[in-house]
Homo-oligomer: A and B are copies of this chain.
Amino acid sequence: VYEVIRIYGGKPFTLAEHLQRLERSAEGIKLDLPYSRTVLAVEIEKLVHKSQISEGMIYLQLTRGACSRNHLFPDCATVKPTLLFYVRTLPALPEAKDQPGVTLITMPDERWKRCWIKSIALLPNVLAKNEAISKGGDEALFIEDGLIHECSASNVHAIIDGKLISPPPGPKVLPGITRQVLIRCAREIGLDVVERAFSIDEARRAAELMITSTTREISWVKRWDDQTVATCVGPTTLRLHETFKLAVQQETRTGERASTAPKLAFGCR
């Protein structure tokens, strides 16, 4: 299992939420965290501080440990999990209005049914993403039984009838941390939020489509297959991205963080 955490202004953003998701992912594969979330947070913050990286990301990976190849879990008395994390720089994203917009390419959803686990077994996602790129897109949009769930490396959302429609975490949707922040931002600006998957037809007539991820933040959708969705960022996506930027500033400048991470809404436990 793994996490990608953004560093803004030399501080990790939503670190507590990422570590909470890491713990849920680890539970999902029957693995205990080798250290408490508190200890992990302290060690990660030390590394970020030591690196002197201002704009960047933390990659963290937890695996079951080194052992002879076997499908059976090793004896945890002798085999200890391998924990790895590193930081690297990442260019700051342009303002939403200056972003070029993304192109989504529809792909059948051939992934497994526990996508709420953030696992490194990403082969289906990687194959879909590369196929989308070979077709001139930026991201693969997974569709199953006519319903839109998420993209290969981002959550997808729509503005329909003035509401934010966002597929909830579950078998086919990762509980995105940026998605969580997006929903918080939507509520802050008085936007109704409905957590449900949406159909292809609904998506076709949506006022705005957007995708979210830790490295993309909130990106507006320009094209979807052969259809032009928008020619510039939509007003709601723009407001949401501005609110998101404020949330980043508030948390990383003041070091303010919820004493307990907000409860994750997994639909599948």
Contacts from A to B (Cβ < 8 Å)? 29-30, 59, 69, 71-73, 108, 110-114, 119, 121-127, 129-130, 133, 152-153, 171
Other than the given A71-B153, A112-B112, A112-B123, 9 more pairs (CB < 8 A) read A29-B123, A30-B130, A59-B69, A71-B126, A72-B129, A112-B124, A121-B122, A121-B123, A121-B124
**Nearest B residue to A59 by beta-carbon distance?**
B69
Q: In the assembled complex, how far is the CB of residue A116 from the closest CB belonging to chain B, in whole angstroms?
A: 12
Q: In the assembled complex, how far is the CB of residue A118 from the closest CB belonging to chain B, in whole angstroms?
A: 11
Q: In the assembled complex, how far is the CB of residue A94 from the closest CB belonging to chain B, in whole angstroms?
A: 20
Given known contacts A129-B71, A153-B71, A110 and B121 CB-to-CB distance under 8 angstroms? no
CA of A194 to CA of B126, assembled, Å: 35
**Nearest B residue to A153 by beta-carbon distance?**
B71
Would you give 18 A-B contacts (Cβ < 8 Å), ordered by A? A29-B123, A29-B127, A30-B127, A30-B130, A71-B122, A71-B125, A71-B126, A71-B129, A71-B130, A72-B129, A72-B130, A72-B133, A110-B112, A110-B114, A110-B171, A111-B112, A112-B112, A112-B124
By Cβ-Cβ distance, the 9 closest A-B pairs, closest first, are A121-B121, A110-B113, A121-B123, A112-B124, A71-B129, A112-B112, A71-B126, A73-B130, A110-B112
Q: In the assembled complex, how far is the CB of residue A6 from the closest CB belonging to chain B, in whole angstroms?
A: 15
Which of the listed residues A71, A121, A123 has the most CB atoms from chain B within 10 Å of its own CB? A71
Q: In the assembled complex, how far is the CB of residue A109 from the closest CB belonging to chain B, in whole angstroms?
A: 8
Which of the listed residues A29, A110, A122, A127 has the most CB atoms from chain B within 10 Å of its own CB? A127
Q: In the assembled complex, how far is the CB of residue A126 from the closest CB belonging to chain B, in whole angstroms?
A: 5
**Nearest B residue to A122 by beta-carbon distance?**
B71
Q: In the assembled complex, how far is the CB of residue A75 from the closest CB belonging to chain B, in whole angstroms?
A: 13
**Nearest B residue to A69 by beta-carbon distance?**
B59
CA of A124 to CA of B112, assembled, Å: 8
> Do B113 and A119 have beta carbons less than 8 Å apart?
no
> Do B114 and A124 have beta carbons less than 8 Å apart?
yes
